[in-house]
Chains A and B, each alone.
Chain A
Amino acid sequence: MSNYAVDISLTVNGERVQSRVDARKTLVDFLRDDLSLTGSHVGCEHGVCGACTVCVDGEIVRGCLMLAAQCDGTKVVTIEGLSDSGEVADLQTAFEQRNALQCGFCTPGMLAAAQDLLKRSKKVPSRGEIREHLSGNYCRCTGYHAIVDAVEAVAQGRAKGR
């Protein structure tokens, strides 16, 4: 009934995955170690830094604060899925153009959180709203200003395209 290993079946970036995982394995460690999806980064491992941000059933979550065992039956999308599908292509371009990444460690989480905001916003979010939505993602190169610039530019670009 209760086990140290748990069988899970889920979808990761559109592909069916079945696996037996240690009960104590977090989602982000499962993605990185078992599926070699190393785009999601492991920073603080206690929910503060946001580098491990991934989408589970359409909502962003901390990959370090959810167990892989809890993801049975879910649809997980990582930064690899978001970039391969082209969903965040404009964000990636804007980050590059505006120097919104330096070392790049926080970038996968930043992109996932930014895309979550833009996807949900009915109008162009203010800079304050962008900052608030990204408040859970640390950039230790402290390039926040450029990151907000990039997200704002994409929000405006997408609004024009609509």
Chain B
Amino acid sequence: MKPAPFAYTRAKTLKEAVTLLAKHKDDARLLAGGQSLIATLNMRLSAPDLLIDINGIKNLNGIAKKGKYVEIGALARHAQVEHSELIAKHAPLIALAMPHIGHPAIRNRGTFGGSIAFADPAAELPACLLALGGEIDIAGPRGKRKVKADAFFKGLFETALRPQEMITAVRVPAADKATRVGFAELARRHGDYAIVGLAASARSNAKGLGDVRLAYFGVGDTPVRPKKAEAALASGDIDAAVKALDLDPNDDVQATAKTKKHLAGVLLRRVAKQLMEPRG
């Protein structure tokens, strides 16, 4: 199908983008990578009056280490993050997840900020951000604010973003020697949205693992942390963690709830192994 008619404008600065959003409110949508938005426009699942193209805003696509954090600009393309040496070194979980996001042609356009703002429940990056305990920088008509990943993903495609706000960057703790990460997903075709996926981080300590954060995707309205399984894994018992998996997935077009729950256990075993191995 073809999109319903809309007007198009290019915002050259962050201020211009936020001002336009404030003026047009729900009638406008920001156009970043467009890899989800244009698909929904083509299928007429969405019909905004105005697209505000933010691709020309400068200084929103940087990737930098800032003290103990890695900061990724909202307009950083997936391909740029995928091939970044800084990400490979300081944000290894994100590096592991990148090849699973769509296909090369999609990764050349799709943006990090766009994926977080869209918050597809089966997408990789929201789960990575949750597993890492990241933070989201937001700009709006009333200035800037920060929201923790734990408080950002509210419901199905619903986030803490207000209608007149946009994401400017995300921040995750930079990996150090004690950082352990793991990632696995099951999809029907490489690059498709996951049937079930799992992003995880932990810190190795004298007793094994601490600060275990498991973030499942494809099993609920948002990325989900099974806190009982996290606690069991921290005590070093993988079988107990699989048994304790506190997830409540629904049936969807890809699999039944029962299958998803089973696959979540399979992924937990794979990822637990990755968490327990030292980083190479």
Say whether, besides A2-B50, A46-B43, A47-B35, A136 and B105 are in contact (CB < 8 Å).
yes
A136: which of B2, B55, B102 is its contact (CB, 8 Å)?
A: B102
B25 beta carbon closer than 8 Å to chain A:
no
Q: Which residues of A (54-110) have their CB < 8 Å from a CB of B?
A: 59-62, 64-67, 69-70
Interface string of A28-41 (1 = CB under 8 A from B): 01000000000000
Provide the A1-30 mask, 1 if CB < 8 A to any CB of B, else 0: 111101000000000000000111010010
Set of chain B residues within 8 Å of A70, measured between Cβ atoms: 31, 34, 53, 55
Task: List chain B residues, Cβ under 8 A from A149.
Answer: none
Which residues of chain A are near B156, meaning CB under 8 Å? Answer: none
Contact A61 to B39, CB < 8 A, known contacts A4-B5, A23-B6, A50-B103: no
Residue of A nearest to B3 (CB): A24
Query: Is the CB–CB distance between B42 and A61 below 8 Å?
Result: no
A126 interface residue per 8 A CB criterion: no
Count, chain B residues at interface, CB 8 A = 34
Within 8 A of A (CB), among B76-108: 79, 99, 102-106, 108
Cβ-neighbour of B34 out of A4, A23, A65 (below 8 A): A65
With a cutoff of 8 Å between Cβ atoms, the chain A residues found around residue B109 in the complex are 61-62, 65-66
Q: Considering the complex, give the chain A residue whose CB is closest to the CB of B33.
A: A65
Contacts of B250 in A (CB 8 A): none
* Most chain A Cβ neighbours within 10 Å, of B5, B38, B43, B189: B38
In the assembled complex, which residues on chain B have CB atoms less than 8 Å from the CB atom of A45?
A: 1-2, 39, 42-43
Assembled-state Cα–Cα distance A47/B106 (Å):
8
The answer to whether B105 touches A69, judged by C-beta atoms less than 8 angstroms apart, is no
Contact B5 A23 (CB under 8 A): yes
| Whole-angstrom distance between the Cβ of A90 and the nearest chain B Cβ | 21
Q: Looking at the assembled complex, report how far the CB atom of A36 sits from the nearest CB atom of chain B, in whole angstroms.
A: 18
Is B62's CB within 8 Å of the partner chain A?
no
Interface hits, B19-47 → A, CB 8 Å: 31, 34-35, 38-43
A109 to B3, CA, bound (A): 22
Q: Which residues of A contact B59 (CB under 8 A)?
A: none
What's the Cα separation between A4 and B34 when bound, in Å? 18
Whether, in the assembled complex, A113 has its beta carbon less than 8 Å from a beta carbon of chain B, the answer is yes
CA separation between A67 and B109, bound complex, in Å?
12
State whether the Cβ of B51 lies closer than 8 Å to any Cβ in chain A: yes
* Minimum CB–CB distance for B28 against chain A, Å: 9
Task: Give the residue of B9, B43, B108 whose beta carbon is less than 8 angstroms from that of A3.
Answer: B9
Contacts of A65 in B (CB 8 A): 34-35, 38-39, 106, 109
A residues in contact with B5, CB < 8 Å? 4, 22-24
A52→B38 CA distance, assembly (Å): 14
Contact among A4, A53, A61, A133 for B7, CB-based, below 8 A: A4
Is A26 in contact with B105, judged by CB distance below 8 angstroms? no
**Besides A65-B39, A113-B104, 18 other A-B contacts (C-beta < 8 A):** A1-B9, A4-B6, A22-B5, A23-B7, A23-B8, A26-B2, A45-B2, A45-B39, A46-B43, A61-B108, A62-B106, A65-B38, A67-B31, A70-B31, A70-B34, A135-B103, A135-B189, A135-B191
By Cβ-Cβ distance, the 3 closest A-B pairs, closest first, are A136-B103, A23-B8, A2-B9
